[in-house]
Structure 1
């Protein structure tokens, strides 16, 4: 059976209109993530700080990968390609969750044993990725992503110490955007456009966290 791209050979325009919107929303997110990657790397590279550069590079790579994988997962009507990209999409969610914390952890959480939090998150993400690949077409329970995503709250005190009011607001707003969007994701079988609402929530959440990392990790504070 030949796999077709939705925008080219949709069997029913009415049926696939929501899926096309899903494709466009995260396609827009992919464009934003590529632009953001350029902004962040151009900001962090002049610092010459290897920790900052490595952390930010890991983050933007995971950000771009997530939005590209998600766009592709909504670009095929059915068949093994769609299943593969759906699996890749969820793998990239693990990578983005831990990748978002990585720059902060590498720069501000290296002392007094806090580095173990970053190691633990990468181990858990790796375990989640392996399990997701083994599950084949079965998805990953949402609670797995939620637990991993909120694990950095253990280091909330250090986050508050580094960024104070505005930065802390960005962190919390981003987390709540993701968390609130999960309602649409969990109920996307009820309304055809709920999944697109989930996509917009992820764009809002990742934008907040991008701005936080750009200001409090990529840039070296003025002396």
Structure 2
């Protein structure tokens, strides 16, 4: 028998759906704008560094929308794994241009590689062992997101002040949003996804500034 699940009230589901539509539109528009600008203004190395970011941005919002808007229980169970795994992808994708273009050198390479190592670990956990390492998976999100603190010196020396403020603000917005994700509050899911959208927009602005560094 086909099973359908609505974990929220109808109003909450609609609010969350609106945010997901906005998220997908934002991701596609942002990615298209960045790639178009890059093709006209950036060198090959900077375009290459931006590709993982673009891929992670679209994947995150696409999988999130697919999972949260699907009511068919067996399909939701599969999409949930990809939804959670894509978060690691977006974080690592965001680090890639920041680390390789913004920071550069050995510190930048080490920062990018470490972020991708955490991402691959998290993706394998979410896709293959979803229910076994839930707490560790959450810890990895936070660890990966604030990984930049270990290279704060080179980052401060290399990045424009505005880019650093935007990156930090986005990190704070994401982190605050996780509080709502774990709370049984009305519209908690929509509030969490609102934080995700706001933080992603903030980080997008930061990435544009980083890629435009002379």
Same fold, TM-score > 0.5, yes or no: yes
22-31 vs 197-206, greater mean Cα deviation: 22-31
Q: 3-state SS of the aligned residue for 2:106?
A: coil
The match for 1:184 is 180
In the comparison of the two structures, how many residue pairs are matched?
212
Cα offsets for 1:58-111 (capped at 9, x unmatched): 101110110111011112224210111111100100100111101112213331
1:2 pairs with 2:17: no
Matches within 5 A, 1:31-42: 31-42=25-36
- Residues 106, 123 of structure 1: CA spacing in aligned structure 2 closer, same or farther, 3 A cutoff? same
CA shift, 1:3, in A, is 5.7
CA shift, 1:186, in A, is 1.4
Distance 2:131 2:186 in 1: 21
The match for 1:91 is 85
CA shift, 1:139, in A, is 7.2
Cα offsets for 1:21-53 (capped at 9, x unmatched): 222212211101111111111122224522210
Length-normalised TM-score, structure 1? 0.86
The gaps in structure 1 that reach 5 residues or longer are none
Length-normalised TM-score, structure 2? 0.89
Q: 3-state SS of the aligned residue for 1:192?
A: coil
CA RMSD of the aligned region, Å? Answer: 2.2
Matches within 5 A, 1:40-189: 40-136=34-130, 140-141=134-135, 142-187=138-183
- Residues 65, 139 of structure 1: CA spacing in aligned structure 2 closer, same or farther, 3 A cutoff? farther
1:201 pairs with 2:185: no
